[in-house]
Structure 1
Amino acid sequence: MPRGSVENNLFSRVLLPLPWFIRMKIAFGAAKGLAFLHEAEKPVIYRDFKTSNILLDQEYNAKLSDFGLAKDGPVGDKSHVSTRIMGTYGYAAPEYIMTGHLSSRSDVYSFGVVLLELLTGRKSLDKSRPVREQTLADWALPLLTQKRKVLGLVDPRLNGDYPAKGVHKAAMLAYHCLNRNPKARPLMRDIVDSLEPLQVPVGGTEG
C-alpha cells in the first residue's frame, strides 16, 4: 500500500498533518472494513484494530491488514468467545482485558480509540505525557460530551481547519464506542452510517 499505515501518516514528524476530511475518510473506510467482518456469514472479530494495522492506498482509502489475531466470532446465542488476552494495550476493550471475553463490541471499543487518535493527533498510549494523559481514552472520555472542551482536544496541527459540527459528531461517536458497557456500544454498521455525513466528495467542501 503506497502510503503505508495510518500510524505513520498521523504521527509522522516529517509528513504534513492529515487534513480533517482525510481523517474522516480513513475512519469511514476502516469502519466499513470492520462492519464487513462482523456481518460476514461467519462473523470475524478483528481483535487488533489499531492505526498501525490500517494501510492506505494512494487515495487514502483504508484497508485492514494483519489478521494474525483475528478470531471467529460467537455463533448461535453466544454473546462472546473466551480467549487468551492478546492485542495491543491502549486499544483493547476493558472487559476483554479483565475477563478475556471477546465480542464484536471489543472491536468497536478499539475503533473508538482510533477515532480519538484521528481527532486529537495523540497516540493511544503515550508515556511521555503527564500521567493523567498517558492513556488517550481515559483522558479524553470525560471531555467528549462537553461541547466547549471538545474543540480543545482537536489536533493542534490542523490549525483550526475543520468543521466544528463534524468534530462534535465524531467526538460523540467516539464517546459511544468507548462505553464501558459493551452492550451499549453501537454496531459497526451504525458507525458507518454516522460517519457517512462527515465525508466530503472530491472537490467539494464541508458544510
Structure 2
Amino acid sequence: MFMHSGVVLYELISAKEAIVKTNGSSAESRGLVGLFEEVLNQPDPKEDLRKVVDPRLGEDYPLDSVCKMAQLAKACTQENPQLRPSMRSIVVALMTLSSSTEDWDVGSFYDNQPLVNLMSGR
C-alpha cells in the first residue's frame, strides 16, 4: 500500500536520494530499494548495513534499531502491494521502535555540528 514509506525510511537511514549514482557516474545509477535489499538479504546483514548508514552518524546509533527500521522499509517496498503493511502497522512499528530506543543518548547528536545543522534545515 505505502511503498513510498519504505523508500523514505531508506532515505532517512542512508541520507541518500531514492536513486543512487554508482561510481560517481550519472550513467550508472541504482535504486536505493535494490541497494538495501542486497544488504538485507545477506545471512547477517548488520555489518553491511553499517556501510549504507549515513556516515555523519558515526557510531552514535543503535545498530539493532537501524536493522529493524530497514526491515520495516523492506516490508513496505514489497513488489506485491498486498504484502505491504498498512499505514497503521507502519506507525505502530515506528512507535514501538522509538520507545525501545528511549534510553539511547540523543544528546550525543548535539555534539555533532553537521547533524545539528542538517536537523535544523541549515
Fold-level match, TM-score > 0.5? yes
Are 1:117 and 2:16 matched, yes or no? no
Secondary structure of residue in 1 paired with 2:104 = coil
- Matching of residue 205 in structure 1 with residue 109 in structure 2: no
Displacement, 1:192?
0.8
Which residue is 2:39 aligned to?
A: 143
What are structure 1's unaligned runs of at least 5 residues? 1-104
| Paired residues of 1:125 and 1:135 also in contact (CA < 8 A) | yes
Deviations 1:72-103 (A, max 9, x none): xxxxxxxxxxxxxxxxxxxxxxxxxxxxxxxx
The 1-side partners of 2:20 and 2:72 are apart by: 23
Distance across 2 between alignment mates of 1:173 and 1:126: 20
Measured after TM superposition, the shift of residue 200 of structure 1 is 5.6
Which runs of 5 or more residues in structure 2 are unaligned? 106-122
Instruction: Give the structure-1-normalised TM-score.
Output: 0.43
**Count of matched residue positions in the alignment of Structure 1 and Structure 2:** 98
SS of the equivalent of 1:134 reads strand
Which AA in structure 2 matches 1:156?
Answer: P
Task: Say if 2:86 is the partner of 1:187.
Answer: yes
Aligned to 1:152: 51
- Structure (1 or 2) with the larger CA radius of gyration: 1
Shift of 1:179: 0.7
How far residue 151 of structure 1 moved from its aligned partner, in angstroms, is: 2.1
Please tell me whether the aligned partners of residues 145 and 171 of structure 1 are also in contact (alpha carbons under 8 angstroms): no
TM-score of the aligned structures, taking structure 2 as reference length: 0.69
User: Percent identity, aligned pairs only?
Assistant: 35
Q: Distance in 2 between matches of 1:123 and 1:200?
A: 27
Local SS of the residue matching 2:103: coil
